[in-house]
Structure 1
Amino acid sequence: MNLFNDAQSRSDSFTLDTAIISTRVYLVLLCISTGILISYTALTPHMSTIIIKNPPKKTYENLLKEYQSTLECPCSKIAILYGSFVSLSPVYHQVCSSPFISDEWIISSQGKSFTTKDSKAIQSFFIILKVYCSLTEKTVSDAWNIFSQSVLITSHTISNDELTIRTTDSLNQFESKTATEFKRISSLIQSYVATMFSILESNVQFAPYQSVNNNSSVNFKLMPTTQGNNCSCALNNECLQIITYPGVTIYDIGVIYTVPT
């Protein structure tokens, strides 16, 4: 076979041989190219678009596993409130649900037989404790109301794992911001309580210094009071002292609670 047949190749044997060889090379290359093209076409997956309207969750999850790189599922709403799928069940300190912050206990504590030092502050302590518990609940409630109205924004449906990760990150931010805000309020309360209790119990004492005029008058000096571990109330507003109930035994109330100031 000679695809390059012309007058010169018919009259010249060398030209004829060259034309025949060129024809063979051309046919071989053509066959190879055709084979490569056919193989590529056969092995290349054919892309087709299938639309499924409002698929169930199970169907979406199965499609996501099989076509994760190509699956597209646009959302009808790009924003959804966290409060629509996240709930909060806070657990507060047990003292906030104990009788110690009830009105009956606070009123009755005024008539208890405390030591002289404790009687100055005991009723105010339980009132502040009640306010502190109420403020704790309100702080968490207000923070949750703000968080529940925040939105998760996405233009396409996301997997359960991605939803869990994004929600967890948002909850961690909510927890961190709430804790920071509560610490700020707690610090203000602590400063207020320390000031108030300094007035009630005083962070200093009048100590006799020396007598004059034949004991008819006495000079006093101010001595900072100290609590356990030599903590000075004049220098530190975090000194602790236990409020006690003299004469009350476990048989009277069932359980004796130790309440730190």
Structure 2
Amino acid sequence: MKNNNYKSHWASEVKLNRYFISYDYNSLENGGIYNIIVNSINRLKDGLLMLNLFDSESSDADTNYRERITTRFYLIFYLISIFIIIFYTIALNIIVYESISNPTENEYNNLMMFYSKSLYCPCRKISIEYTSFLKIETKFHSICSSDFISKKWLKYLFLDKQWIGYDRRDIRVRGSAYFSFLLSLCKISEITIDNSINQFLNDIFINTQLITKSELEIQIDLVILQFRNITLEKFSESFKLLRDIVNGNAFISSYSLNWYWWKDLKDTFVTFPIKSVLTKDQCSCATRSDCIDSGGIYDGLSNKQRFAIPGWNIGCSVVETLLSSTLECLYNQTCIDLLIFYLTSELTTFPYRINMSALNFSDESHFKRDTFIRNISDELFVEEWKSMTFYSSFYKQCAPIYCSYETKKNDYIIYTISKVLGLCGGLTIALQFIIPLIIKIIFEIRNKYRRNTITPDE
């Protein structure tokens, strides 16, 4: 019975094969183009189902069926393997690595234009001093180079020398101490900046590989910003600590700015504080250090203010007076002329007028006209920080050992085709050996299972 089924199955296959080879010339008349397409698809389908690449010319139907199954698995695995090989070859083998030893700066720039994403150039020297490729300059506030901290202005304010005869809020005589302290702040700021810059430039810039000019400038800008903030913060904290010590110990001002005091005429080294200074708003300099009054020119008899200097505030000490004031009057020539006019209103004290020019103000200035000197001091009187990075010097210090980069083959299509064709031969041999063996084992297991299966009697 089984042999008869196989013979019948084989006969039907032969019939289908003949049907696939033949061509129905009457299809145009019966079904038109649609029938042609459907019939062609069916014939193609039947042809693929009947395809046998492992034909042993056996008359056994079971053997032929197994060979067709083997063919199908062979084609499936073959196509999948070819796809994987093509994808792998395109993804990996078209990229190659090339390198140039001891490249010059021009060669590096050319490579960067075409291979910026993959370019790698290790430095021969990874620790480089900033001073070898970096320069830092600062522009200070115009007050630090003006005539208002010059000797002629300080001497002019101190002409009378008898400061006791003037109100504590008067700028005459005492003004010399204010601007002398301003001069000291400018000098301290310049020294601090110079020392900090020199110390910074002697530090080491560590970089294992060569970076571009733009990347170097970005890194240097960040480092300088950090250096600047640390420098300003250290100075501000130190200055604040000094002020707290002076104010906390309640030192008596020799200019009677916080205490009115009496001097023993019999002993030139003994003074006695009489009472603390109270400002206009009843703030006591005995308990606070931030009390202020309006500064200017005051009448010697009535102590009435004759001229108020805009932005100038008299505090409980020379230091607090200067820090709580602004320089806005010094930017205005009219204000300066009025100040000198009232200074010389008493001819016996100031017998001549001095020529003083106003400070130049730029809209691009880091500080405003009415910025407190305290805030200017916290910035170390620096208007602008300038840094200049010399990339050629940095390149010479780095001295790259080599530059490697990824590039694609120009003939990658031909390369891929030849690579795939070269692997196809070995793939064909391997699959022709493995697939039939696997299918044979599967069929033997199936047949053995069928023989061992017991069908119960009905």
Q: TM-score, normalised by structure 1?
A: 0.72
1:2–1:82 Cα change, 3 Å: closer
Shift of 1:169: 2.0
Shift of 1:57: 4.4
1:108–1:140 Cα change, 3 Å: same
Question: Which is higher, the Rg of structure 1 or of structure 2?
Answer: 2
Number of the residue aligned with 1:73? 121
2:219 to 166, 169, 172: 166
1:124 to 174, 177, 188: 177
1:184–1:2 Cα change, 3 Å: closer
Shift of 1:156: 0.8
> Counterparts of 2:296 and 2:235 in 1: how far apart (Å)?
26
- Could you tell me the percent identity over the aligned residues? 22
1:254–1:221 Cα change, 3 Å: closer
> Counterparts of 2:61 and 2:82 in 1: how far apart (Å)?
32
1:150–1:221 Cα change, 3 Å: closer
Number of the residue aligned with 2:132? 84
Indicate the larger mover: 188-197 or 174-183.
Answer: 188-197
1:256–1:174 Cα change, 3 Å: closer
Question: What secondary structure, in the 3-state scheme, does the structure 2 residue paired with 1:49 have?
Answer: strand
Match status 1:247 vs 2:343: yes
CA contact (8 A) 1:79 1:153 kept: yes
1:204 to 255, 259, 263: 259
Residues 16-70 of structure 1, C-alpha deviation per residue, up to 9 Å, x if partnerless?
3134314422542354145324522552243322112344546535544643443
Question: What secondary structure, in the 3-state scheme, does the structure 1 residue paired with 2:87 have?
Answer: helix
1:201 aligned partner, one-letter code:
S
CA RMSD of aligned residues (A): 3.9
Number of the residue aligned with 1:146? 199
Question: What secondary structure, in the 3-state scheme, does the structure 2 residue paired with 1:200 have?
Answer: coil
> Counterparts of 2:127 and 2:282 in 1: how far apart (Å)?
58
Within 5 A, what are the aligned runs for 1:91-106?
A: 91-106=139-154
Number of the residue aligned with 2:423? none
Within 5 A, what are the aligned runs for 1:103-114?
A: 103-112=151-160
Question: What secondary structure, in the 3-state scheme, does the structure 2 residue paired with 1:87 have?
Answer: strand
CA contact (8 A) 2:159 2:173 kept: no
Number of the residue aligned with 1:210? none
Match status 1:234 vs 2:286: yes
> Counterparts of 1:224 and 1:248 in 2: how far apart (Å)?
31
> Counterparts of 1:24 and 1:68 in 2: how far apart (Å)?
50
Q: List gaps (5 residues or longer) in structure 2.
A: 1-51, 263-271, 298-339, 346-352, 360-372, 375-458
Shift of 1:140: 1.0
Number of the residue aligned with 1:216? none
> Counterparts of 1:107 and 1:21 in 2: how far apart (Å)?
116
Residues 52-107 of structure 1, C-alpha deviation per residue, up to 9 Å, x if partnerless?
23445465355446434432111121122223333222222222112233334434
Number of the residue aligned with 1:21? 68
Shift of 1:203: 1.2
| Greater RCO, CA 8 A, separation 6+ | 2
Question: What secondary structure, in the 3-state scheme, does the structure 1 residue paired with 2:260 have?
Answer: strand
Shift of 1:238: 3.5
Q: List gaps (5 residues or longer) in structure 1.
A: 208-219
Indicate the larger mover: 38-47 or 94-103.
Answer: 38-47
> Counterparts of 1:28 and 1:3 in 2: how far apart (Å)?
12
Shift of 1:173: 1.4
1:15 aligned partner, one-letter code:
D
> Counterparts of 1:221 and 1:37 in 2: how far apart (Å)?
98
1:156–1:33 Cα change, 3 Å: same
1:225 to 272, 277, 295: 277
2:144 aligned partner, one-letter code:
C
Q: TM-score, normalised by structure 2?
A: 0.44
Shift of 1:179: 0.9
> Counterparts of 2:182 and 2:251 in 1: how far apart (Å)?
13
